[in-house]
Amino acid sequence: MELPKDASLLRVFVDEAERLNGRPTYEAIVMKARELHLAGATVLRGIMGFGKTSRIHSAKVLEMSFNLPAVIEIVDTEEKLNTLIPLLGDMIKAGLVTLEKAQVIHYKHEGEKK
């Protein structure tokens, strides 16, 4: 799959403990992105954060360390990301979704010849 230099970055912020149909919401989003043949997705686990309620989630606070922030980053063309964006409203109970322009510098897999 080729990815143009001018692409977009979709970021989805959720709590790692949030579930959709029995599995983590972040996993459901990544699998939906794969099903839609988007260029790639990565889930990042935050060590600290807060959202709309201003409640702190932190790895420092033992009782809350099971529910840290998770960020799903997905890069592709804005057109292709727009196939996923309308689905996110039904997938996410609480969170934030952002979209920004991204410049692709390097995109290839191991063993791929340039």
Residues in the chain predicted with pLDDT less than 70, given as ranges, are: 57-66, 110-114
pLDDT of amino acid 4? 85
pLDDT of amino acid 113? 64
89: left (phi over 0), alpha (psi -120 to 50) or beta: alpha
Q: Could you identify the residue written with the tokens 């260029």?
A: 39
Q: Evaluate whether 75 touches 106 at the Cβ level (below 8 Å).
A: no
pLDDT of amino acid 66? 65
pLDDT of amino acid 110? 65
pLDDT of amino acid 96? 95
Which CATH class for the 6-103 domain? alpha beta
Question: What is the DSSP code (8-state) at residue 67?
Answer: S
Q: Could you identify the residue written with the tokens 């970055």?
A: 9
